[in-house]
Structure 1
Amino acid sequence: MTTSNDQVPADRKLRILMLHGFTQSGHSFEIKTKALKKSLEKAFPAAPKPGHLKEYPGGLELVYPTAPIRLDPDDVVPSSSSAPGAGADVGKDGPDVQSESYGWWRRKGDAQPYTYEGMERGFERIASVLQEHSTEPFAGVIGFSQGGAAAGMVASLLEPDRRHAFETAQAKGGMRYPDSFVKDTGYIEETVHPPMRFAVSNSGFSAAMANAGLYQAFYEPKIMTSMLHVLGTVDTVVGEDRSLKLVESCVGGSGEGGKRVVYHPGGHFLPSSQKAYVAALVNFIRDVLGEDGGSGDAPAGGEKKEERAEDMDVPF
């Protein structure tokens, strides 16, 4: 079934990959972002509701996979802003030290340079989810903390020519391009999923600070995918320097092929219920998709159009 105007399938959804943090799970992350999900569903409804996206008339779908590495209590060691390791993801309710504690990788080593043990398994899990939706691809990826770092990596891995950058770096001791992200059609090797249209990192960081030589290919050349970076002003788990290192690894500017930085007045958590953050996220997605202000009908009742992120009272 397709729409009559531009032949976009009427059930095509704005599908977003949601990557949880260290010591969390897909289930716990979904619970923690319940308010955000509700806000995004309202912002991106299914047609013919006012404000729907012409390119995604089927509404919104968030997919929450769980990382493959089950963590032991010994793995859950809170870190400070000066520690470059993964650390425990601390929200308003404290560390997620529970039975559902998973990670996309573990930090190995007590001093720099660190390595991220199990990263291949983490990417295999993500690649399998991407392949499951290859016929109806994801539009973007949103991650928190370790998941925020992974969001930047996934966006990077799916970009054109990124594999060549890994091959060049590998010759100098860098990490090999993940085999799980390679799709061999028998004629030409492609990635398992098209490039992401956008990525969002909440309290994320650059792996290059742990081991520049090993992980630099994720960030050089710079990530071209449009990225929104959200940082907490009093985050003591992931220091600002680590998050800004990821920001610096993305192309400059705003809109398509650009980066934006938003600070929220809080610590190490995703501010899913803060109106300023949600509005910034919604406007960022609309701008990237080229449907700023909504490509569907204007909201009824004379409601004001949402402010552009750069016009809002939030520091960038």
Structure 2
Amino acid sequence: MKKLRILCLHGYHGSADIMQNQSNSLVSELKELADFIYLDAPSLAEGDHGWWHAIEASNKVKGAGVHSTPVSYKGWAKTYEHIVSFFRDNGPFDGVLGFSQGAALTALLVGLRAPDGIIGAQYPLAFNFAILVGGFFANDPLLQSLYEAKDSYDLPSVHIIGRADFIVPLRYSYEVSALFKRPLVIEHNGGHVIDCSERTRLQLAFFLKEQLDQVKRLSDRSK
């Protein structure tokens, strides 16, 4: 049976194993629809953490980068190469799911997505949908141009947002969702977590069924 392949990206102090545990209650009933592939940030192999560290002009580390002050993202270049290589060697992927800093990364990856599916130097990635859990904008000025790739953001997306999230405020996630032309926003009463409530599970299952049906339609047309 055909299933979706979804790349999963963890948060700042997370790992592939941690995110698998965090998301298990949400995705356990979705495994007939999709395979979930969890990836470690390249920094973990060096005893560090995170997809990048947000650095102020004073060289002070500001963590994951969940704020509005312009910063530089130390580690972005290595993360970029890691993701592009993983897509090349382990793809294709139908979608990307990110939590927290991984959700901010997912939004950036959409800006690197080839809207016509033909990858190249400017758009080295190809996938068809994005799922952001507790997402926020990147505040590195050097990355802002990625958000200008309007055609790349014309894809189905889900944005899971906690009303009691005090790490990534609600409005930050809504600001990111506005980048996308077809955002499905799912609010829940929890905080900065991967919500597994029945309402979230049902809406995400419906979304994934739609994506799987689309893959099957395209496959049938190509026969």
Which 10-residue stretch deviates more, 124-133 or 214-223?
214-223
Instruction: State the match for 2:63 in structure 1.
Output: none
Amino acid in the other structure paired with 1:14: L
Aligned length: 202
Q: Work out whether 1:131 is the aligned partner of 2:88.
A: yes
Given that 1:23 and 1:102 are in contact with CA atoms closer than 8 Å, whether structure 2 keeps it comes out as yes
Instruction: State the match for 1:176 in structure 2.
Output: none
Instruction: State the match for 1:285 in structure 2.
Output: 208
Counterparts of residues 203-222 of structure 1 (less than 5 Å): 203-207=134-138, 210-211=139-140, 213-222=141-150
Secondary structure of 1:262's aligned partner: strand
Secondary structure of 1:31's aligned partner: helix
Secondary structure of 1:33's aligned partner: helix
Instruction: State the match for 1:81 in structure 2.
Output: none
Instruction: State the match for 2:64 in structure 1.
Output: none
Counterparts of residues 1-316 of structure 1 (less than 5 Å): 12-42=2-32, 44=33, 60-70=34-44, 102-109=49-56, 112-134=69-91, 137-160=92-115, 189=121, 191-193=123-125, 195-207=126-138, 210-211=139-140, 213-222=141-150, 223-251=153-181, 258-271=182-195, 273-290=196-213
TM-score, length-scaled by structure 1: 0.58
Instruction: State the match for 2:221 in structure 1.
Output: none
Q: Distance in 2 between matches of 1:146 and 1:66?
A: 13
Amino acid in the other structure paired with 2:178: E
Secondary structure of 2:31's aligned partner: helix
What displacement does 1:63 show?
A: 0.8
Structure 1 unaligned regions, length at least 5 = 1-9, 45-59, 73-98, 162-181, 184-188, 252-257, 296-316
Instruction: State the match for 1:4 in structure 2.
Output: none
Given that 2:9 and 2:39 are in contact with CA atoms closer than 8 Å, whether structure 1 keeps it comes out as yes
Structure 2 unaligned regions, length at least 5 = 61-67, 218-223
What displacement does 1:231 show?
A: 0.5
What displacement does 1:260 show?
A: 1.2
What displacement does 1:155 show?
A: 2.0
Q: Distance in 1 between matches of 2:45 and 2:84?
A: 21
TM-score, length-scaled by structure 2: 0.80
Q: Distance in 2 between matches of 1:142 and 1:203?
A: 11
Q: Distance in 1 between matches of 2:155 and 2:114?
A: 8
Residue by residue over 1:83-129, the C-alpha shift from the partner in whole angstroms, topping out at 9 and shown as x without a partner, is xxxxxxxxxxxxxxxx8x62111110158221111111112221121
Q: Distance in 2 between matches of 1:217 and 1:205?
A: 16
What displacement does 1:151 show?
A: 1.2
Cα distance change, pair 221–132 in 1 and its aligned pair in 2 (3 A): closer
Secondary structure of 1:103's aligned partner: coil
Secondary structure of 1:151's aligned partner: helix
Larger radius of gyration: 1
Amino acid in the other structure paired with 2:208: I
What displacement does 1:192 show?
A: 4.2
What displacement does 1:216 show?
A: 2.1
Given that 2:134 and 2:161 are in contact with CA atoms closer than 8 Å, whether structure 1 keeps it comes out as yes
Amino acid in the other structure paired with 1:41: K
Q: Distance in 2 between matches of 1:40 and 1:120?
A: 33
What displacement does 1:286 show?
A: 2.2
RMSD: 2.6
Q: Distance in 2 between matches of 1:71 and 1:243?
A: 29
